Amino acid sequence: MADIRHAYSDPIEQGAQARIHGHPKDACPYPRDSEDRTSWMEGYDGTPREDGPDMPSGESRR
């Protein structure tokens, strides 16, 4: 298995690429409880870890 860390420097992009290439989620190379691991998982899952507040929808578009 190729080391995704060398191809991409951003952990979020590394996680996204790992998923695209079929690597399992437990392939994350970063230590538990590290910021890089949290970012990698965010990229793998494709969802931001902190969703901002929902914005009011206002008027519907026609």
Distance CA 24, CA 6 (A): 18
Residue 31, SS3? coil
**Per-residue pLDDT tens over the stretch 1-42:** 455 555 678 999 999 999 999 999 999 999 999 999 999 999
First to last CA, the chain: 50
**Per-residue pLDDT tens over the stretch 33-58:** 999 999 999 999 998 776 555 556 56
pLDDT at 14: 96
Residue 41 φ then ψ, to 5°: -65, -35
pTM over 0.75? The answer is: no
Distance CA 38, CA 28 (A): 10
